Structure 1
Amino acid sequence: MQKQQEQEQKRSSSVFNKLLWIVVGVLAAYNIKLYIDHSPSAHYEIIGNEIRMYNDGQYLKDSQLSSLSKVLSKNLQTTKLNAQLSINHITDFRDFFNSLEKLQNLNELSLSLGNNPIINEQAQANALSQALSRLTKLNTLSLGLESIFNYENRETIIKGLSKISGLNTLRVSLINCDLSGNGLKSLYALTELQNLKSLDLLLVGSKLKEEEMKHLQTILHKLPKLTKLNLNLYANKIQIDGAITLSGGLFQQRQLKEFGIELYFNNITTNGTESLMGVVGSMENLISLNLGLEFNYINNEGGILVGKALSQLKNLKDLSVNAATKNFGWDGYEAIVSSIEKLPPLENLELIIGVNKCGLPGAELLKQTLFKHDKLKSLKINFLENYIGDAGATFIAEGIQYQKNLQKLSVNMNFNSLSDRGALELARAVKNAKSPKIVDLRVSQNQITDKGIKDIFSLLEQALPKVDLMEVELLNTALTNATRDDIELKYKEIQKLQIRLNTIPPSHWE
């Protein structure tokens, strides 16, 4: 009897398989695709009174968002919400906003909605504006509206959040939003936030030119006295007149303790730099400064102006200077680095000053600066394409090893005419550095041989026990396939060591 049942099951299975193949064949014949639903679920976690939703880029749809809305409705005691919902397939957030406004105990909110194909923009803007205005206990808000909402709807949302009287920390991201013409006027309501102390505006690729800076100047004039301001104007075209107008607005915020400005590729030139640095140099209370002036054609004269401004800031603890530019020479470089050397000891230093061909003298000057600032907690050096050679790498390695409290180290020496000797000196500096927990070492596009690379990893291996994460980049060197394979095999199981290697034909170095 049992044998008969087993035979029957085999026949049934065989029939089923045949039918399945027939269906597949028909679908193929008519070019019909069989879709299996692998749609992502809406992930979240609740830790005490905090809810975290990290679903950006997961291609969530409205149905998944509905489940997240229910999570909010069931946790009305929430005081902190981090909802990253950008880059999905969500068309309608209104139910989510309705649930959001019920979180009457919310103190901190990070809400990112950008790059979604939303519909009924006006209705959704009204719903978000209403939700924000009712979060009366909110003191910290980060709002991401990248590539969504037009001028009128953006203005509606900003008016809603401007009613949160206790708001003191605000971050608004409008990346790739068209703010040309009167677009920045949609932000005027921010000036009603009389308790605001910290403002971060991300206006990347927002089609801003010199005329639009008049609106930003007005906003800066009417804002309350801030302690922290960050303006990211990356990839706009404000040019000289825009920089001058912007400087007029910043003049009203000279009391700042923390200031950051990113002006990558805005073509402000030396004249715009003069105006901007005149204001920065007068910010006597600054303890943190981030200057992003990369590829603005500031020339040597602009570099000298940056150095002059830095020399006046006697309270700085954290400094980041990005002055990488192809038409920037020794005089500008020397002015910036020499002024840093003369500052009171810094805690954190980031110097991005590549593509300046400062050579060996530039490396030696940086060494002297690092000797002066020997108690750094974080150090980032980007010397891309400065042609410092092995001797220059040795100077910088000596400066690194002189640090006493270093916790984070990042060194980019790509395109610097290094051989094995220079790269080994940098690796030895990492090994001998006292206490870095995070290390990022890049020595790509240099003529480093198989033996050199093996010796580099031998040194770095000795540093591994004391670090939490080490990233090493050795691309386009003289490495052979065999050595590359040996290294990847040897270190592939070490989770905290992340390696980027490749090989190129030997003729590349001939």
Structure 2
Amino acid sequence: MGQKQGKSKYTRQKKLTMNTSQLLKDFFKGTSYKFERFIEENEFQYIVQAKSSEHQCLVAVKIFKYMNNLQCLEAYEFEKSTLMKTKNERYALQLLDCLQNLEINMSGIVIEFCDCSLSAVSSLNAFSFQQVLALTYQLIRGLQVLQQHGIFLKDVNSDNILYSWRKNKFIIANFSKQQMQLETSLLQEEKNDDVFSIGRILIEVFLQRSLQPLECNNLKTQFILEAIPELVNHQHINFVKDILANMVNPNQKEIFQPVQLLHTLNNYLVDELCLQSLILPALSSENSVQTLKKIKIENFNDLNKIKEYQDISINLQNYNIFSKEAKTIAEHIEKCSSVSKLTLNLLGNYIFAGGAKKIGSSLEKCENLAYLNLNLQGNHIQPEGAKNIGSSLEKCLNLCSLNLNLVLNELGVEGARNIGLCLEKCQGLHELHLNLLGNYIGSEGAKYIGNSLEKCQNITHLDLNLQSNYLFVEGTKSIGMSLQRCQNITNLNLNLQLNELGVEGTKYIAQSLEKCQNIQFLSLNLWRNYISSEGIKSLGKSLEKCQNITSLNLNLQLNEICDEGAKGFRKSLQNCQNITSLFLSLQSNQINQDGVKNIRYLSKKCSKLVEAAFYF
């Protein structure tokens, strides 16, 4: 959980007396949780880290000590009821479970585990402007969720804004009874205090320094450019005026509400994925904070160097690796007990199903693995190899981001089924890149993949490449029907190139998109799919209903679209007024000058466009 100046109150290891340590272990007896370590203690609580077999991840548990004490009981009930209000809200701290041990008269609240606080992250990073935008978006969304449920905080600071590496999100976590007020007891000006506090925090991240006491006082009575003159000539002055100035307006009545701020943020291209490159603190054996140790290996003989690293990149592409060498690689990987981020590129080798089994077995022994980029393109692993990899990945309990490249591996329907069975058990995934190009999975294989995706309700970023897989209309229908049940996806990159969708298949994809109202970034590749003007008009009408899309990249090369289709598509797309980035590829269709003019007219009609490119 949260940290301050590189030493987290939630991740700092503390010594316990033997009695207290045993008490905490006893508390979890008979539950699906295993005590791992003590984090901190306050008047009413022990805060500990545990491992959940049910939720397949690390969790934080607040254990309330004295349930026969009225104040402690009230604190427990207040915090539990507050967290219950925001259950299943993506930008709020999640309550996972409640525990009670009558024998020792203690109760516990199980919440999602966060790695560190914003203050700890800020001490190690100079946020880029894109990262500032992403942070701003997440904090405002979080504040909006809290206020919608009548939750207002007296004071928010960077120590009680936590970052979850697994979910790639910053969340506001400050729910003690002493630090909160009921909505009914607050004036509107007091409700704006939280917006002001978040604004002040964002200014510090934006400036990459703490504000001086005089600057903090001046912000209460002066406009931002008067209080902090160095911002006047800043490269991103528009962001200062549009967002920050409206969060710290000295006139409390004029402070923007979260919904107004989010609407203004639509003018900017927000990419939450950029936060993944932030450097995070990690605990060394001496319990001091250090940055994640990275190593990059491009020589087979250097594999013995990777053992002590947390961020490992191994690139042995086209290295003539067979099953024997794959076993050696696996033996080195399984010794990396502290690795949390692993890239393994074995493209163009010959590991076959046996090598895949060895690689998979090594991965399941990496208990801290959260980010995995595994490239097995062209390794002839076939369905059995897919099963070997899949059965191991589902045992990686802390995996939150998976990039799996299985291009040209002769998987077929059975291989797709094996991968699907694996994915549906990886409930911790929030980001999935799955590349199955050229594997002959057919419509039946597409159905297996689709069924598994709709069970992964935590995924927010999906990159799915099914190019050249003979999906036809039925396979496309299966993918479309499954996608529309994935309501948490905000970033979708879908490649259906060379699958003979036709008009009917295009309509299925279009219908699924209009039901995915949370998508903000959409990349859709429909290259050479026999799509006519009717198909593109259907697609346009659906996109017109997706008003949250800010970035659209659409590849419709080598289809059967004429001027009429281009005109109809333009009429629909010009109503997508929140799009800031637009790329359209329409080469090798039947579009003449009139069609070209219609498409180019979008540059004038979409008022928020920052970047646009049209290819004919």
Q: Tell me which interval the TM-score lies in, with the shorter structure as reference length.
A: 0.5 to 0.7
Per the TM alignment, residue 348 of structure 1 is displaced from its structure 2 partner at its CA by 1.1
Q: Evaluate the alpha carbon distance shift between residue 326 and residue 256 of structure 1 in structure 2; reply closer, same or farther with a 3 A threshold.
A: closer
Residue 615 of structure 2 is aligned to residue 473 of structure 1: yes
Question: Structure 1 residues 161, 400: CA separation in 2 closer, same or farther (over 3 Å shift)?
Answer: same
Amino acid across the alignment from 2:292: N
In 2: Cα distance, 1:361 partner to 1:108 partner:
46
Give the Cα–Cα distance (whole angstroms) in 2 for the partners of residues 316 and 334 of structure 1.
20
2-structure distance, mates of 1:183, 1:414 = 42
User: Separation in 1 of the partners of 2:295 and 2:503?
Assistant: 44
Of the candidates 413, 431, 434, which is equivalent to residue 270 of structure 1? 413
Residue 141 (structure 1) aligns with: 294
Once residues 382 and 429 of structure 2 are traced to their aligned partners in structure 1, the CA distance between those partners, rounded to angstroms, is: 25
Output aligned runs, 1:250-329, within 5 Å: 250-329=393-472
What residue identity is the alignment partner of 1:291? L
Q: Which residue of 2 aligns with 1:163?
A: 308
* Alpha carbons of structure 1 residues 304 and 158: separation in structure 2 relative to 1, 3 Å: same
1:357 paired to 2:510? no
Q: Is the 8 A contact 2:446 2:475 kept in 1?
A: yes
Question: CA separation in 2, counterparts of 1:200 and 1:246?
Answer: 15
| Letter in structure 2 aligned against 1:219 | S
**Selected match of 2:319 from 174, 177, 185:** 177
The percent identity for this pair of structures is 23
Query: Is the contact between residue 480 and residue 511 of structure 2 (CA under 8 Å) also seen in structure 1?
Result: no
Whole-angstrom distance in 1 between the partners of 2:503 and 2:523: 19
Preserved contact between residue 476 and residue 509 of structure 2 (Cα < 8 Å): no
Post-superposition shift, 1:254? 4.8
Work out whether residues 337 and 369 of structure 1, in 8 Å CA contact, stay in contact via their aligned partners in 2. yes
1:74-126 CA-partner distances (Å, limit 9, x unpaired):
xxxxxxxxxxxxxxxxxxxxxxxxxxxxxxxxx979xxxxxxxxxxxxxxxxx
Post-superposition CA distance 1:144-186 (Å, at most 9, x none):
62xxx3x3x2xxx23223224xx2x333333222222322213
3-state DSSP of counterpart to 1:224: coil
What amino acid maps onto 1:412 in structure 2? N
Determine helix, strand or coil for the equivalent of 2:352: coil
Residue 457 of structure 1: aligned partner = 600
Report the AA paired with residue 204 of structure 1: L
After TM superposition, list the pairs within 5 Å mapping 1:190-209 onto structure 2: 190-209=333-352
CA shift for structure 1 position 376: 1.4
Distance change (3 Å), C-alpha of 1:219 and 1:341: same
C-alpha separation in 1, matches of 2:377 and 2:475: 22
Amino acid at match of 1:182: K
Contact (CA 8 Å) 2:338, 2:366: kept in 1 or not? no
Shift of the alpha carbon at 1:390? 0.9
Aligned partner letter, 1:243: A
Matches within 5 A, 1:24-173: 137-141=290-294, 143=296, 145=298, 149=299, 151=300, 153=301, 157-164=302-309, 167=310, 169-173=311-315
Query: CA separation of 1:260/1:452 partners in 2, compared to 1, >3 Å: closer, same or farther?
Result: same
Q: Distance in 1 between matches of 2:371 and 2:498?
A: 31
Matched residue SS, 2:388: helix
Distance 1:375 1:163 in 2: 40
Q: Deviations over 1:29-82 (max 9, x none)?
A: xxxxxxxxxxxxxxxxxxx999xxxxxxxxxxxxxxxxxxxxxxxxxxxxxxxx
Task: Tell whether the 8 Å contact from 1:428 to 1:460 is kept in structure 2 after alignment.
Answer: no
Helix, strand or coil at the partner of 2:334:
helix
Q: Within 5 A, what are the aligned runs for 1:1-12?
A: none
Alpha carbons of 1:161 and 1:144: their partners in 2 closer, same or farther (altered >3 Å)? closer
Structure-1 separation of matches of 2:399 and 2:389: 15
Shift of 1:352: 1.0
Q: Report what 1:393 is aligned to.
A: 536
Compute the TM-score of the two structures, normalised by the length of structure 1.
Answer: 0.60
Q: Please name the residue that 2:552 is paired with.
A: 409
Seen in structure 2, the aligned counterparts of structure 1 residues 329 and 254 have a Cα distance that, compared at 3 Å, is farther
| Residue type of the alignment partner of 2:363 | L
Between 239-248 and 428-437, the greater mean CA deviation after superposition = 428-437
Distance 1:158 1:310, change over 3 A: same
Equivalent-residue separation in structure 2 for 1:257 and 1:317 (angstroms) = 11
SS at match of 1:253: coil
- Tell whether the 8 Å contact from 2:489 to 2:519 is kept in structure 1 after alignment: yes
Q: CA deviation at 1:141?
A: 2.5
Structure 1, unmatched stretches of 5+, are 1-47, 51-106, 110-135, 475-510
Structure 2, unaligned runs of 5 or more: 1-123, 127-277, 281-288
SS of the residue aligned with 1:291? strand
Matched letter for residue 577 of structure 2: K
Letter in 1 for 2:455: Q
Aligned to 1:444: 587
Tell me the SS of whatever aligns to 2:394: helix
Max radius of gyration: which structure? 1
Q: Distance in 1 between matches of 2:373 and 2:561?
A: 37
Paired residue secondary structure (1:436): coil
Decide whether aligned partners of structure 1 residues 375 and 249 sit closer, same or farther in structure 2, where only a CA change above 3 A counts.
closer
The residue identity in structure 1 corresponding to 2:532 is G
Q: Deviations for 1:456-492, whole angstroms, at most 9, x for unmatched residues?
A: 22333444x6333323221xxxxxxxxxxxxxxxxxx
Matched length: 333
| CA distance in 2 between partners of 1:355 and 1:405 (Å) | 28
From the superposition, tell whether residues 420 and 268 of structure 1 become closer, same or farther in structure 2 (CA, over 3 Å). same
> Is contact 1:405-1:434 (8 Å) kept?
no
Instruction: Check the 8 A contact 1:254/1:279 in 2, yes or no.
Output: no
1:243 aligns with 2:386: yes
Letter in 2 for 1:141: K
Name the CA distance, whole Å, in 1 between partners of 2:542 and 2:312.
38
Q: TM-score by structure 2 length? A: 0.50
**2:494 aligned with 1:341, yes or no?**
no
**1:274–1:435: structure 2 CA closer, same or farther, 3 Å change rule?**
same
Amino acid at match of 1:444: Q
Cα distance between partner residues in 1 of 2:381 and 2:411 = 7
What is the CA–CA distance in structure 2 between the aligned matches of 1:440 and 1:140, rounded to whole Å?
38
Deviates more, 1:203-212 or 1:439-448: 203-212
8 Å Cα contact 1:430-1:460 kept in structure 2 = no
Q: Is 1:217 matched with 2:380? A: no
User: Aligned-residue CA RMSD in angstroms?
Assistant: 2.6
Q: Deviations over 1:359-386 (max 9, x none)?
A: 2222222222122112312001111122
Q: Distance in 2 between matches of 1:170 and 1:271?
A: 32
Aligned residues of 1:320 and 1:350 also touching (Cα < 8 A): yes
